[in-house]
Amino acid sequence: MSQARQYELVYIAPPDATDEVLAELQTQVAAVVDRFGGTIDRTEPWGRRRLAYQINHQREGTYVLQVITGPGAMTAELDRRLRVLDAIMRHLIVRVDEDLAVAERAKARRKSATMERRVRRGLPPEPTETELNRRNQEDDDLDGGPDGGFRAGGDR
């Protein structure tokens, strides 16, 4: 049972890393991913960011996010390699497919529950446009008096 799992890989290169260095890092990652028959779904360079604390006496870092699909053994190898590389100050590999699936399911469940409730009340399953407009206006009203529905000390 070969499993393709989705992972997010974020690594931080030193702030003075040139484009060549970054490209080199990417090819190294790609090589490992290839070897395990995985694919890189997305690469998102975040660019230079201030670090919340110093790493290797650096106050800034160049962040790169990559979304990778592949087997679990791949992450072990990636992790090992990235730890050795000097051009990477920090990295993180997180499995995301399960959490995203859970979130997706929760969303779907909520939506179907809403539709069911609406049908039981004899309304069309999807809110009509006029309803949506009215709801937006009501939301605005709520912002004015947020404590409206709450009783003092009601949480005891």
Site string for other proteins, 108-147 (x = CB under 8 A): --x------------------------------------x
Structure tokens at 70: 């592949």
81 is an interface residue for other proteins by CB under 8 A:
no
Q: In this chain, which stretch among 26-34, 46-54, 75-83, 124-132 interacts with other proteins, using CB under 8 A?
A: 46-54
CB of 105 to other proteins, least distance (A): 9
13 and 62 in contact (C-beta within 8 Å)?
yes
Member of 31, 73, 106, 113 binding other proteins (CB under 8 A): 106
Q: Which residues of 9-47 are buried (b: 16+ CB within 10 A; e: fewer)?
A: bebbbbeebeeeebeebbebbbebbeebebebeeeeeee
CB of 68 to other proteins, least distance (A): 15
Sign of CA dihedral 42, 4, 6, 94: negative
